[in-house]
Amino acid sequence: MRDDLFTIAVLVGSLCSVVGMIAMPSIVKKLDKKPASLICGVIGCFFFFLMYIIPNNLTAALIGIAFSYLFLAVPYALFFGILPDTVEYGQWKSGIRASGLIMSTLTTTQKAGMAIAAAAVGWVLDFVGYVANQAQTAKTIRALLALRTIIPMSLVIIGMLCFTFYNLDRKKHSEIVKELQARS
């Protein structure tokens, strides 16, 4: 993508993320958390793939950015709606309400993930010979394309595969909450 359009791409992606987050409760109400997350993840990955197979088309890039951010905002935002459910599940299973531990673990893993991601991007750019403010080699351009498309898509797919093991649906969560209320 052209450097002069970076601001527009970020703005489009950010606005679409906000729309996706606003739409998330309605989507979850219709589908429940797991199906909403998985369906939106698949659609988001489709648009990452679109950007990969049509790399030099500005329209495809902006559409890919818009819709991948729109749909992937749903599972990203939904993650924070799932954590309280896991607190209640843990309390139901163990009798201990560990919300502080769960939230602090989230914060720690998020920070570690951001640090690892930033370092990995630097390592990849160094490995492929990226030199700032210079014409890039074909190898570097391919690596930049992968960093924008294939790598995030792969990470979303890994996340979705992990999420397939999440079996706390609306009905089960409601039963857990009722049982916890009866215990207290």
Q: Could you tell me where the DSSP H helices lie in the chain?
A: 6-31, 33-53, 58-94, 99-127, 138-148, 150-163, 170-183
CB 172 within 8 Å of CB 82: no
- Let me know if 21 is exposed, middle or buried by CB neighbors in 10 A (0-12, 13-18, 19+): middle
Q: Smallest Cα–Cα separation from 163: which of 35, 29, 30, 31?
A: 35
- Residues 60, 54: Cα–Cα separation, whole Å: 7
Q: How confident is the model at residue 4, as a pLDDT? A: 81
Query: Which parts of the chain sit beneath pLDDT 70?
Result: 1
User: What is the spatial distance between Cα 120 and Cα 100, in angstroms, rounded to a whole number?
Assistant: 30
- Domains in the chain: ranges and CATH: 3-183 (1.20.1250)
pLDDT at res. 1: 54
Q: What are the tokens at 2?
A: 């052209």
pLDDT score at 38? 98
